[in-house]
Structure 1
């Protein structure tokens, strides 16, 4: 398994609607061996130890608790709310989530890669950003954190 890289947003990505509207968007991808179901990727993403720290912070600071069972339900299409997000859209192999303030979007996609592998994608959109340097100051951290999250999810999927 390699490292997550900045990738082109696929043409059919649910996140494209925000890129077309001029919002900040990004897209990271990592290829893993074998066939990975989208539901397995979503569950792995939201149950990594890295993301559990974010879930803890959301529970403490914005009263949005969550647990692994809820992540599994979200992945299986049985839940529309998870922690600080709600499902905005689903498509085959994709999930688009909206944060509770309506400012950001998170997108996950699993698609066949060359050979017998799977390409796992994670992207974000910032639809409302403040004027000033706060956005730019946090962007470097966001990009690093996005790669860490995607790598952790890929590792978890491979262990499962």
Structure 2
């Protein structure tokens, strides 16, 4: 993410968690190091604008199944993605089924639908990647061979 202050200073940061309360939508809680590149720390808060960046990450996306995942219940995490992930769907006999995302960043299939099957990963720009052949192996990051395009 590229963060710009009104004074023209900017810094590129990686978002690693949610902004703690009392942050409002659109606000960021920057590290001390990142904030210091925009203004003196004594300022405390300052007006900013920000935009998403599409980093040039090495490698491809990986899939990790959550501890305890089986073919009857699974949590699926997408890692190493260039762009933010908007959705994860699994192929079923009736078509694609979108899985709900947890606040701990796993997509859950509580009835086992799609566990170990073909996945479709969609980024915030609408690009869809289809991945097959990822076995249910909990706690193992399995490379997919695909990556979102750089924007």
Q: Which has the higher helix share?
A: 1
Q: Same fold (TM over 0.5)?
A: no
State TM-score, norm by structure 2.
0.25
State TM-score, norm by structure 1.
0.24
Greater relative CO, 1 or 2 (CA 8 Å, sep 6+):
1
